[in-house]
Chains A and B, each alone.
Chain A
Amino acid sequence: MVDSRESWNEAQLCEIIAEHRGLEGPLLPILHAVQDAFGYVPQPAVPIIARELNLSRAEVHGVVTFYHDFRDRPAGRHILKICRAESCQAMGCEALVKRAESRLGVECGRTTANDQVTFEAVYCLGLCAMSPSAMIDGEPVARLNASKLDALLSEMGA
């Protein structure tokens, strides 16, 4: 999925800013759009956004780093998020996290060495009556179990 994204360029950033600057409180929508376009929020975007919105760099940096969603580097080709909140805990999500970690060879929160998969925790996908659950490249998966997870990992090329 990253492959289809633009590589960082200032012109596109300026377009994104222009598109959103009329909104009340435009910073989050801009950051989401930037991440949609480039796959992450590139460092050089921060001072430009700050200048255009009349904010300090520190304020924009603060916002980018406060929210779990915003990345400071590109993710892997696929993003696997396993829910680790209580309902999924009650249905054994921790064993699935360990399984994914060992299969991927990285800890939760990291990207595999070949940039194929970024593996992250998420705290609740709202699928709690069908725990454990996960999200793969934005698609929800529920009633997850070891064999389903293995199949998904294989599909992702892990």
Chain B
Amino acid sequence: MTIRIFVPRDAAAIAVGANGISRDLYRAAEAAGAEIDIVRNGSRGMLWLEPLVEVEVAGLRYGFGPIEPTDVAGLVSAGLFDPSRVAAISHTKALGPTEKIPYFANQTRLTFARCGKTDPMSFEDYVAHGGYLGLQAAMSMGPAAIVEEVVKSGLRGRGGAGFPTGIKWKTVHATLPQQKYIVCNADEGDSATFADRMIMEGDPFVLIEGMTIAGIAVGATKGYIYCRSEYPHAIAVLNEAIDAARAAGVLGGRVAGSPYAFDLEVRMGAGAYVCGEETALLDSLEGKRGIVRAKPPLPAHKGLFGRPTVINNVLSLAAVPFILAEGAQAYADYGVGRSRGTMPIQLAGNIRHGGLYETAFGLTLGTLVDEIGGGTQSGRPVKAVQVGGPLGAYFPRALFDTPFDYEAFAARDGLIGHAGITVFDDTADMAEQARFAFEFCAIESCGKCTPCRIGSTRGRETIEKIMAGEDVAANMEIVTDLCHTMKLGSLCALGGFTPYPVMSAITHFPDDFVPARPRLAAE
């Protein structure tokens, strides 16, 4: 009997040796005379356990991880290839049934329902696990009703801005029939975020299905996925999945035999963070420098090549199939206040249990960091967590009661952004983090608006003066004033949000900006 074994093909798993483990398992099986079939699945999102090897016995998957090459022989002799012994293997890396691990079991996986379970390259597997039910429902409803459904779900843009997805769709739907586009923003450049990458590598068809539904809803026949060049594995998976979807007839001139046409193309970015900003992304897709456009006109009216364009984040589009298949209410039933549905949260940085955690909005920051994330990896106290990537605020422990919800974070001068959480222990120097925020803005500024282009460099210089103990009070005032100007005067979130990390570091960690402050030994 052939034993099914799962070894993720997720870039994070590969980065810690999953390809080698897969080869080692095949070799060991050959030597042991066992017949195995290795499925290269997506990651389950428990990244501290990667490479996570799973063995399927009677429909139940037993996890082992994190597996190092030296573990393979021991596990094999303990019975890894023997279905009657797998469940009882006693080994330090044996985790029991994967889906019973509390970190996994306690999630609400709507968008990531299939990620890690299925073979991401298998169209049949996707369909067998509920894939394309959303498209089926969408086609029976027709465009206007699809848009209404997405509006009712309360889905807000998962890229960071939190703008209602349905409203974008409605605007494009209302434009006169012409060439329209669906653009997927897969330029996931924020540190601490990897959910887009994981879904693209682990369940690419859900994104393809979501974009197809968007195309039908607004009358667009062409879609682009703009993916950053730092994600070569995701790009390869998407291209292969798009080919498979075409072969299956769910992309092309007649989507699933319907009168609707929709096709997709993947485009690779070229290492510019600012292209994650939607209008810079559109310029980049057109073959220009990634320069931010002034709004209006909105992309919904004049987007890609001046045509009406829906531009949504990967996670927004990937949430759509569930909404159509299960109904807007089923999605909206999750969450709190105006933050409806679930959010794939990413726990990163100095954290013990780093990974992806999809859950309804509303958990507190403290629960996420201390309980789910298990605190720091270094074992030292948490000093700060940055929520929302490089443009997000640093929160101290004192704000750990903040519920994970767009409005609650805004009320505390923060943002949830793309829901990445970076944990820092007490060796972090918050003046250095503030300095870096300005430096990063200077490196990545597109240069169109003055507050961002020049403010970032002046800001870095001024923080450096403060760090050197030069005229601290006066320079603090300058930084504060500069942040005010950047926040209100920048064209996009790069310049406009850089004040969040800077000012939050100053507000919550004033001691780090005092001259001659004690430097910690860990430097």
Give chain A's interface residues, CB within 8 Å of chain B.
23-29, 31-32, 53, 59, 62-63, 66-70, 83, 85-91, 122-131, 133, 135, 138-143
Contact = CB atoms under 8 A, between A and B. Distances in A.
Given A53-B287, A66-B290, A131-B349, 17 more contacts: A28-B270, A28-B284, A32-B229, A32-B268, A67-B270, A67-B290, A69-B269, A90-B428, A123-B191, A124-B189, A124-B230, A128-B193, A129-B356, A130-B354, A140-B11, A140-B12, A143-B16
Interface string B70-85: 0000000000000000
A110 to B, nearest CB: 16
Contacts of A128: 191-194, 346, 348-349, 354, 420, 422
21 contacts: A25-B285, A27-B287, A63-B289, A69-B270, A69-B271, A87-B191, A87-B422, A90-B423, A123-B191, A126-B188, A126-B193, A126-B194, A126-B230, A128-B348, A128-B420, A129-B47, A129-B48, A129-B351, A130-B16, A133-B15, A140-B15
Given A86-B192, A91-B377, A66 B272 contact: yes
B288 to A, nearest CB: 6
A90 B272 contact: no
B400 interface: no
Ranked nearest first, the 3 interchain pairs of A and B with the lowest CB-CB distance are A129-B354, A27-B287, A85-B191
Contacts of B268: 28-29, 32
Interface in B243-302: 265, 267-273, 284-290
B346 A68 contact: no
Given A25-B286, A124-B230, A127-B15, A90 B349 contact: yes
B229 A87 contact: no
B190 interface: yes
Contacts of B377: 91
B287 A90 contact: no
A143 B48 CA distance: 10
Nearest to A141: B15
A141 B15 CA distance: 4
B354 A86 contact: no
A108 to B, nearest CB: 12
Nearest to A29: B267
Nearest to A53: B287
A29 B466 CA distance: 44
Contacts of A140: 11-12, 14-15, 233
A89 B436 contact: yes
Contact of A24 (B305, B425, B444): B305
Interface in B443-465: 443-444
Of A26, A32, A66, chain B has the most CB atoms within 10 Å of the CB of A66
A85 B348 CA distance: 12
Given A123-B191, A124-B230, A90 B289 contact: no
